[in-house]
Structure 1
Amino acid sequence: MKFLRSWPYTFIVIVSIVTGVLAIAASMYTGVGLRDPEGFLGPAYVRLPMLGVLMFLAGLLPAAIRRRGWKEIPRGMVEVVKHEWTVKRALYIATGMLAFYVCYVGYRNLKSMLPIFTNEVVWDTELAALDQFLFGGVNPAFVLQDMFGVGVSAAVLSWVYLFYLPLIPISLGVVLVFSRDLRVGAWYATAMSLNWIIGTVCYYMLPAVGPIYYEGTNYAYGALPETNTTSLQDALWNNRMEFLADPVTADAIHGVAAFASLHCSVTFTMALFAHKTVRNAVIRWAGWIFFGLTFIATLYFGWHYLVDSLAGIVIGWLAVAIGAWATGNQYSRRRTLDSDMTETPEGVRPEKPALRV
């Protein structure tokens, strides 16, 4: 198995190729065409490289100022590119983004075909009963809505839940571009990509639509004010209905699946990765707080059952642990993403890392 770690991207590149092949095979079998899911900055193949370029430019100026001061910024920029931006570093970043992109698009398409392969069988009755059992016969959404209220809290939790969408590509770009230790960037790209893969497996193991769709708005969620999150819930359900009506010709991509919560898994991955690689306590605490609020939001708005969100934590932990092993980071000490290199007159020299996962 050593060959999987000879290059930090070997493992996730293989995983991405397998994912892409499975998505293509599923598309050919079902007749449902592959689609590139769009995000807040357009298709993934546009926003990921664009964010990479923006992060590069954002980091270039301060690095140039550190080297030569305000009076010699152009010279400093040339030196930064010459000494720090090697072809190897650029290829590593491109590989990380490409592997992530293939895994994400494969995940979205396999998730879209979920109702076809599972014959629309769902486990919501059992999952809802488990929630009722764990909360003494009460829907956990009721508990959280009574605890936090349905006014300002709904608006705040909605913002937290939706900020996850742009945060994923932004965080990937930040880590890949700003981390001078190339293995650390590979670790994050691998961990984030594994969330999609493990999550897809969970969708097929235990298909479910989630409390908001299974129980309906009049049961626990009708008291919530209209927010962008509730609008998104309506849009996703409409897309599901359009897809189920005619999967082959539908323009919509199906995106409803409850087990497990990838909102929880991805934000847990972010928080745990930051905990292991960032010295700044504010950033680490911000990561854990954001994860905690996301966990609450998944239940508060009825996206997920409690077991879905708990399973998301397990997925997030697995993604970080497997990513660390696959990229050779399992024996690293905590370090900052931007201080893995020490500047010298000749350029930059890597310091040996090493933190235990």
Structure 2
Amino acid sequence: MLRWSRAFLRWPYAFAFCLSLAVGATAIYYSQDLGVGLKDPEGFLGPAYIRLPLLGLLLFAAGLAPQAIHRYGFRRMLPGMRTIVRDEWNLRRVAYAATGMVSFYICYVSYRNLKSYLPLLGGDTIHDRALLELDHFLFFGNNPAEVLHSALGTTVAAQVLAVLYVLYLPVVPITVAAVLVLHRDFTVGAWYATAVSLNWVLGTISYYSLPSLGPAFYEPQRFADLPENGATQLQMSLLRGAFGFKEDPQGDKIFGIAGFASLHVSVVFTLALFLHYARLARVLRYTAWVYLGFTMLATLYLGWHYIADDIGGLVIGAVAVWVGALVTGNTKRQKRKRLAAEQAGAPDPAEPVGSRPATPEPSVSPAP
């Protein structure tokens, strides 16, 4: 038993596995306690037992195709994908990637349901007035959104920032799948999957700690001059869902409005920090940092969040990346210890199971 316990603790997905079980059980408990059935927020592809394997295969292909193109060229992409799968994807690697996706998915669905229970568990108290006053204080008596509208205008800037903001929705699952598929050091994939999963859990805690709606929902008149765009359409969709949920919690609507902290900022910051510390391709790192800047700008400009929400998002992102590195064996100290053990020719007893690739790394591998 002790041997199995040690092996489990050395498994890079041990923390993510336990986290997903805990948050999943919490969501199920409150669902039963409130008499509100669990809802699948993106259920357009059918039930989860159909959609999850389908999404896994699609994301696997999405991550595998660029690797095949890079190695074999566009014309030989399909045979190149078959070669990569045959030579590099053993059962353990498939199991690790699947574990990362399932842990991420359970944490996300649980987060969306627990967030939806805010009106039932958190009461009607909101802190938007205090957050708005802090915004005015930090902007020397001015409203940040109005300042940005005056400086950037409300036409082209609104459309561009809306596209960049909504782009977050596909970016999150695609980046998780890409790291799990492309990086053959299993601990690195576990690091990112764990960090993103932690965002959902810490974000849920922040929603209940400081309930708020966000500027666009608290003072919609300040954003009336903005043209219709993807972000305003999403806001209206969330508003309809919120009204529908309050009218009938047992219905098919889900409550999705919460301001503090900004999960957009936290997840994008997680991505940027992860790419930086994992030392992946420089162009990806620079792109992520630039995207973070535009995301933070968009949260204020479009009225999604207050300044404190963005700061809270940065804190959550930093904590998620640090904890993710610690529990998967990716801190600098852990890596130095592992390297010293390898140079000494002895296995490191603290080395996470699966930290070494199944096959030698090719010269084109994105591994750090």
Change (3 A) 1:125 1:46: farther
- Whether the 8 Å contact between 1:239 and 1:253 is mirrored in structure 2 is yes
Q: Aligned partners of 1:185 and 1:87: how far apart in 2? A: 16
Residues 1:21 and 2:25 aligned together:
yes
Deviation at 1:350, TM superposition (A): 9.4
Q: CA offsets per residue over residues 237-294 of structure 1, 9 Å max, x none?
A: 111111112212x221110000000000001011111112234322111000001100
Deviation at 1:198, TM superposition (A): 0.2
Q: What is aligned with 2:347?
A: none
- Whether the 8 Å contact between 1:195 and 1:266 is mirrored in structure 2 is yes
Q: CA offsets per residue over residues 19-77 of structure 1, 9 Å max, x none?
A: 000000010011111011117977662663133331354156347639xx989985x66
- Whether the 8 Å contact between 2:107 and 2:197 is mirrored in structure 1 is yes
Equivalent pairs, count: 339
Consecutive unaligned residues of structure 1, counting only runs of 5 or more, are 334-339
Q: What is aligned with 1:298?
A: 299
- Amino acid paired to 2:57: M
Consecutive unaligned residues of structure 2, counting only runs of 5 or more, are 337-354
Which residue of the other structure, out of 48, 60, 65, is the alignment partner of 1:58? 65
Residues 1:130 and 2:134 aligned together:
yes
Deviation at 1:188, TM superposition (A): 0.6
Q: What is aligned with 1:199?
A: 203
- Amino acid paired to 1:238: R
Deviation at 1:129, TM superposition (A): 1.4
**Aligned alpha-carbon RMSD (Å):** 2.9
Q: Aligned partners of 1:228 and 1:302: how far apart in 2? A: 13
- Amino acid paired to 1:258: G
Q: What is aligned with 2:152?
A: 148
Change (3 A) 1:272 1:57: closer
Map 1:25-40; keep pairs closer than 5 Å. 25-38=29-42
Q: What is aligned with 1:236?
A: 238
Q: Secondary structure at the match of 1:171?
A: helix
TM-score by length of 1: 0.87
- Amino acid paired to 1:196: W
Deviation at 1:2, TM superposition (A): 7.3
Change (3 A) 1:77 1:150: closer
Q: What is aligned with 1:9?
A: 13
Deviation at 1:322, TM superposition (A): 0.4
Q: What is aligned with 1:309?
A: 310
Q: Aligned partners of 2:98 and 2:330: how far apart in 1? A: 20
Matched-pair identity in %? 46
Map 1:144-293; keep pairs closer than 5 Å. 144-216=148-220, 218=221, 220-248=222-250, 250-293=251-294
Q: Aligned partners of 2:217 and 2:147: how far apart in 1? A: 19
Q: CA offsets per residue over residues 97-138 of structure 1, 9 Å max, x none?
A: 000010000000000001100112211111111111211221
TM-score by length of 2: 0.84
- Amino acid paired to 1:16: S
- Amino acid paired to 2:360: V
Q: Aligned partners of 1:78 and 1:308: how far apart in 2? A: 45
